[in-house]
A and B are shown apart, each in its own frame.
Chain A
Amino acid sequence: MKKLFMILSLVLLSAGEIFAHGVGYRESELRAIPLEFSYSTGEKMSYCEASVFSPNDSKFAAQTGRTDEQGRFAFIPDVSGDWRIVVSDGQGHRCEAVIKIEDVKSEAFIESTTNQSKFIPAILGVSIIFNIALIVVNRRRSHAH
């Protein structure tokens, strides 16, 4: 019984570690687009529901949230194209904004191009080193003759 209790305790203790996912954060290199929503009267659309639709998916929102007190809402586009932002106050007022994003640099894109761009210079560098070596060898040989 004691053994069983010990095994159970160990399993429970280790479970804490198994389920504890590490979390962290870093500053994103992507640029956020801040928008300000207001009624025609000039009054700010405060704390209204906002949905962001990416150019790739017009049905399911890529991001949802609420505007702040000043009617501001920011989203972070990661692909180029027309992004649709819909803000509604739930009382019949609805504002739809379409923002054209032209030169977005997503991190995935930057990373993949960096890896790719390092591969070719690496081969080029090795090739240059061996070419220099061959030039030196040839010069030494011609001097020797």
Chain B
Amino acid sequence: MHISEGVLSGGVLVATWAASSAGIAVGLKKTDPEKIVGTALISSAFFLASLVNLKIGPSSVHMTLVGPMGLILGWAVFPAVFVALLLQAMLFQFGGLLVLGANTFSLGTSALVTYILFGKLARKNFVWAFVAGAFAVVLVACITGSMLVLTDLNFLTSAKLLVLAHLPLALLEGVVCAFLISWLKRVSLFAL
């Protein structure tokens, strides 16, 4: 999901840009050179998945693939998400350049937290992979909602609606994540 341009306050934009930049720097440092092409593949999938887009209030909903991205890429998810979001903003006018930091932060952080919490469990078990996929989407919605509320308390209702609107998507992404991870494991791709 993307937050549209001109919604978030300056403070939130600066803070999220700083956090995202740190995430990208660590991600680039931690990325194994042999995994860079694989990272590009995942980044491309994320870039294309966002073409299926539904607008809800000041934000928008679409397949994020944030769960599988986190589980597969780990820290490398930050540069992968950043490049994909930058190209989406430039080529499709999704999100925007000023909110790029905020959008990278919400998606990157959710993917990374999912990786830290469920990285090992999701590789072992189909159900955990489903939980990881669903959790990642709910977390993105919560972080996006928090950024809206930090901008203006009047966004509280919008933020609640945003999280609720993402619950069906969370279930769907959970299923996609479970099948994707088990398939990648079977074909021994991305060292799963």
Contact mask for chain A residues 122-145; partner B; CB cutoff 8 A; 1 contact, 0 none? 101110111011101100110010
- In the bound assembly, the distance between CA atoms of A101 and B28 in angstroms comes to 55
Given A137-B37, A140-B33, A141-B33, check contact A129 B44 (CB 8 Å): yes
Q: For B116, what are the chain A residues with a Cβ–Cβ distance below 8 Å?
A: none
Partner of B40, one of A132, A141, A144: A132
- Interface contacts (Cβ under 8 Å), in number, total 48
- In the bound assembly, the distance between CA atoms of A122 and B40 in angstroms comes to 14
Contact mask for chain A residues 31-75; partner B; CB cutoff 8 A; 1 contact, 0 none? 000000000000000000000000000000000000000000000
Q: Do the beta carbons of A129 and B92 come within 8 Å of each other?
A: no
Among B9-17, B83-91, B106-114, B121-129, the one that faces the other chain is B83-91
Contact mask for chain B residues 40-79; partner A; CB cutoff 8 A; 1 contact, 0 none? 1001100110010000000000000000000000000000
Closest to B40 in A: A133
Q: For A125, what are the chain B residues with a Cβ–Cβ distance below 8 Å?
A: 44, 47-48, 84, 87-88, 91
Closest to B43 in A: A129
| B36 within 8 A of partner (CB) | yes
Q: Do the beta carbons of B51 and A118 come within 8 Å of each other?
A: yes
- In the bound assembly, the distance between CA atoms of A140 and B29 in angstroms comes to 11
* A contact residues, total (Cβ < 8 Å): 17
Closest to A133 in B: B40
Can you list 28 contacts pairing A with B, beta carbon distance less than 8 Å?
A118-B92, A121-B92, A122-B47, A122-B48, A122-B51, A125-B87, A125-B91, A126-B47, A128-B83, A128-B87, A129-B44, A129-B84, A129-B87, A130-B37, A130-B40, A130-B44, A132-B40, A132-B83, A133-B37, A133-B40, A134-B37, A136-B28, A137-B33, A137-B36, A137-B37, A140-B33, A141-B33, A144-B33
CB within 8 Å of B: which residues of A?
Answer: 118, 121-122, 124-126, 128-130, 132-134, 136-137, 140-141, 144
